Amino acid sequence: MSTSTRLAELRDELSAIERDGLKRRRRMLDTPCGPLARVGERELISFCSNDYLGLANDPALIEAACVGARQWGVGSGASHLVSGHLAPHEALELKLAKFTGFAHALLMTTGYMANLGIVPALVGRGDAIFADKLNHASLIDAVQLSRANSQRYPHADLAALERLLAASQAKRKLILTDAVFSMDGDLAPLPGLLELAERFDAWLVIDDAHGFGVLGPQGRGSLAHFGLPNAERIVYMGTLGKAAGASGAFVAGSETVIEWLLQRARTYIFTTGSSPVMACALLASLDLIEHGDARRERLRQLTVQLKNGLADTRWQLMTSPTAIQPVIIGDNHETLRIATALYAKGLWVPAIRPPTVPKGTSRLRVSLTAAHSESQVAALIEALRKLA
Ligand SMILES: *Cc1c(COP(=O)(O)O)cnc(C)c1O
């Protein structure tokens, strides 16, 4: 096929995306991440970020980054296994392991890369993966990359998972789940998943992108929230670009698993070590997370305020107990229309559509942060009540 034919095809497909209400666009901000955003001439209250504790623009992180840049420079220069593993990276790994209660932790550049590294390092052809149907896209891609045989169980359905595990002949099994589901905000049934993993001798890989820093005592994450032990079969992934307010991710687990990932996770081995500046900022961030009860309490109060404020309206909220509060609309165009109407009132809420969520479940994904004020949340409630 000639390039011009192929380009014509792409133009057709792009038109179809637009026609179906699925076209995505970026908006450029002239302000740092925070509850107020300036976009062009507009001042907006933003309910888009995953900066749950309001740390992305915190003075302590900024200062740590500046001091870190002066001491360590900006780039790491090589992959961790060559010469890109600097003292701040090591210090951060030790701190993350201690904070999560695991023997060791390995720093990764992003959560997406972490997931793509973990799953293929643990299972391959002939092995079996059992994945929640609503898992994040990065986990879905990780399964593909592993070439293992994969089965998806209905969302959070322990009985269905048990049947699949019981029927499996595979020698190596791996259960794969988001801890907090990124588009619904609900929690995976981690105690039941761990019990099944124990009973059927499976790995349990947990993606705690939205729980780390927010849930559990001192924000130690979803395992701590449920009071679960740091079992050797658990491989725990947390991201550092959401509640931690910076960028990056880590995997924590037993000494053996972390050493194995260091030797075998391709997305760890074949990529440049993240900036030492980021590690310095993250060391400061972990201190704020650990001592961040007031931020977490504020986040909880704002979440209750939003839920109560919309309880008696036609807007269909989900049972989410977290700062991710989706408002389900269903139709793509209708979702866009409501998001646009809110935007016109100075309220920025993302419209989430397929393929990020299943067809027919398009939604507004409201995410709250400790940096929001009560009056900002009240403004969103009032606007949504008027639109209902
Ligand atoms: C955001 C997210 C990721 C990806 O993490 P990044 O550090 O942004 O690459 C992975 N899993 C889940 C559930 C997420 O929400």
pLDDT band, very low/low/confident/very high, at 388 (cuts 50, 70, 90): confident
pLDDT at 316: 83
How many Å lie between the centroid of ligand 1 and the Cα of residue 109?
11
> Which residue, 266, 290, 314, sits at the end of a domain?
290
pLDDT at 20: 87
Q: Is residue 106 part of a domain?
A: yes
Average pLDDT for residues 170-196, to the nearest whole number?
97
How many Å lie between the centroid of ligand 1 and the Cα of residue 108?
12
**Ligand 1, atom 12: closest residue by C-alpha:** 209
**Ligand 1, atom 10: closest residue by C-alpha:** 111
Q: Is residue 340 part of a domain?
A: yes
Average pLDDT for residues 91-115, to the nearest whole number?
98
182 is catalytic: yes
Residue 288: in which H helix or E strand, if any?
A: helix 276-290
Q: Are residues 318 and 340 in the same domain?
A: yes
pLDDT at 169: 97
135, 160, 250 from 241: Cα distances, Å: 18, 33, 11
* Residue 257: CATH number of its domain: 3.40.640.10
How many Å lie between the centroid of ligand 1 and the Cα of residue 174?
19
Q: Is residue 44 part of a domain?
A: yes
Pocket lined around ligand 1, Cβ cut-off 6 Å: 110-112, 115, 136, 138, 178, 182, 207, 209-210, 239, 241, 249
Q: Which of 89, 95, 173, 210 is catalytic?
A: 210
Q: Are residues 41 and 149 in the same domain?
A: no
How many Å lie between the centroid of ligand 1 and the Cα of residue 249?
9
Q: Are residues 220 and 262 in the same domain?
A: yes
Report the SS3 class of residue 253. Answer: strand
> Which residue, 240, 272, 290, sits at the end of a domain?
290
Predicted TM-score (pTM) of the model is 0.96
Q: Which of 46, 150, 182, 247 is catalytic?
A: 182
Q: Are residues 97 and 79 in the same domain?
A: yes
* Residue 355: CATH number of its domain: 3.90.1150.10
Backbone angles phi, psi at 159, to 5 degrees: -65, -40
pLDDT at 145: 98
> Which residue, 290, 312, 336, sits at the end of a domain?
290
Q: Are residues 164 and 84 in the same domain?
A: yes
Q: Which domain holds residue 318?
A: 25-53+293-387
By most ligand atoms within 8 Å of CB, the mutation choice from 33, 107, 112, 235 for ligand 1 is 112
Domain count, the chain: 2
**Ligand 1, atom 2: closest residue by C-alpha:** 209
Q: Is residue 11 part of a domain?
A: no
Q: Is residue 257 part of a domain?
A: yes
List, in order, residues 6 or more apart from 303 with CB less than 8 Å away: 321, 322, 323, 325, 368
Q: What is the mean pLDDT of the chain?
A: 97
Q: Are residues 262 and 185 in the same domain?
A: yes
pLDDT at 56: 98
Q: Is residue 297 part of a domain?
A: yes
List, in order, residues 6 or more apart from 232 with CB less than 8 Å away: 253, 254, 256, 257
pLDDT in tens, 130-153: 999 999 999 999 999 999 999 999
pLDDT at 22: 85
Q: Is residue 363 part of a domain?
A: yes
pLDDT band, very low/low/confident/very high, at 21 (cuts 50, 70, 90): confident
pLDDT band, very low/low/confident/very high, at 344 (cuts 50, 70, 90): very high
By most ligand atoms within 8 Å of CB, the mutation choice from 136, 186, 367 for ligand 1 is 136
pLDDT in tens, 6-20: 999 999 999 999 998
76 is catalytic: no
How far is the C-alpha of 5 from the C-alpha of 314, rounded, in Å? 47
Q: Which of 242, 274, 275, 285 is catalytic?
A: 242
Report whether pLDDT(37) > 90: yes
DSSP states along 29-75? -SS-SSSEEEETTEEEEE-----TTS-TT-HHHHHHHHHHHHHH-S-
Q: Is residue 80 part of a domain?
A: yes
Question: How long a stretch of residues is the chain?
Answer: 388
pLDDT at 1: 79
Q: Are residues 212 and 315 in the same domain?
A: no
How many Å lie between the centroid of ligand 1 and the Cα of residue 180?
11
How many Å lie between the centroid of ligand 1 and the Cα of residue 178?
10
Q: Are residues 230 and 313 in the same domain?
A: no
Q: Are residues 73 and 150 in the same domain?
A: yes
Task: Give the position, in ligand 1's atom list, of the atom nearest the Cα of 248.
Answer: 7
Q: Which residue has the higher pLDDT, 318 or 208?
A: 208
242 is catalytic: yes
pLDDT in tens, 44-62: 999 999 999 999 999 999 9
Query: Tell me, what amino acid is at 321?
Result: P
Asked which of 177-181, 184-188, 313-317, 377-381 is least confident by mean pLDDT, the reply is 313-317
Average pLDDT for residues 86-90, to the nearest whole number?
98
Rg of the chain on CA atoms, in Å: 21
pLDDT band, very low/low/confident/very high, at 112 (cuts 50, 70, 90): very high
Q: Are residues 97 and 242 in the same domain?
A: yes
Question: What are the residues facing 175 on neighbouring strands?
Answer: 130, 204
Task: Give the position, in ligand 1's atom list, of the atom nearest the Cα of 135.
Answer: 13
Query: Tell me, what amino acid is at 72?
Result: W
pLDDT at 108: 98
Q: Are residues 232 and 89 in the same domain?
A: yes
**Ligand 1, atom 1: closest residue by C-alpha:** 209
Q: Are residues 166 and 118 in the same domain?
A: yes
pLDDT in tens, 243-276: 999 999 999 999 999 999 999 999 999 999 999 9
The percent of residues in the chain predicted with pLDDT above 90, rounded, is 96
How many Å lie between the centroid of ligand 1 and the Cα of residue 182?
8
